[in-house]
Amino acid sequence: MSNLRLRVISAIVLAIITLGLTWLGGLPFRLLCAVIAGVIFYEWTRMSRPAGATGLAFLPEALLVVFIGALIGGLGASWLLPFVVVMVATTAIAASVRKAGQWDASGLAYAAVSGLSLALLRDGDRSGLVAILFLFAVVWATDIFAYFVGRAVGGPKLAPAISPGKTRSGALGGAVGGVVAGLILGAIAGVGNLVLLSLVALVLSIVSQAGDLFESWVKRRHGRKDSGTLIPGHGGVMDRVDGLVAAAFALYVIGWISATADHPAQGLFPV
């Protein structure tokens, strides 16, 4: 089987599973978020830890297990957010004392915020469902349009030192595609303020592309081409969700500002 066909099949299977769990919401979706957080941290440490390193023993893993249990248990932002701060600070202090470097602490922050943002955005109501579908529409359209516009138009590179394949034309095409997809989803869902929604979509598209570049920088920093090998034809989970989790955090913050930390979707998607 060719690599392209393998990539397409993997992408379709992952999309079906993800959309199915998104539709269900509740515990099934939180389980998905927990898996994403756990695998992100696993791939992060596989890339960043020196071979045979045991400086922090299993402290970061133990803290992440507690966080994942709280996430699956349905705890809200008032519990999850402070715990993320505590576990990252604890890991950072332990790493400083043992001179073990700060990659584990940053990995914990990245993994936990990713899972938390997605879980709290979805919540259990229709606003949460629309919020996640809007997020998917913007991020996936950004990826698709950036790829095809970049290949068709070419031109100056966006960040050649980090990701040589990305072009400025692709980034612009991705942003336009993301905004259009977000507006279409918003109109279908009956969201009222499409002007505001277009601005949010533009922000998410830009953040999504920045998240992609950030993960590329982390991989380049540690001499890796892929974050892992879990997904056939695609590499690791981080390679697939880098832009998504960055955009999810941005949408969560925007929703928190407009509504509450526990129900961020209701401020932007009152449907």
In tens, the pLDDT along 14-73 reads 889 999 999 999 999 999 999 999 999 999 998 887 765 556 678 899 999 999 999 999
Note whether 172 and 132 are within 8 A (CB).
no
pLDDT at position 237 is: 86
Specify the pTM.
0.93
Please tell me the distance from the alpha carbon of residue 162 to that of residue 226, in angstroms, as a whole number.
14
Span of 49-53, 85-89, 99-103, 157-161 with lowest mean pLDDT: 49-53
- Give whole-number Cα distances, 121 to 158, 205, 252, in Å: 30, 17, 6
pLDDT at position 3 is: 61
pLDDT at position 58 is: 85
pLDDT at position 164 is: 87
Q: Look at residue 231 and tell me whether its pLDDT is greater than 70.
A: no
Q: Look at residue 129 and tell me whether its pLDDT is greater than 70.
A: yes
Written as one letter, the residue type at 226 is D
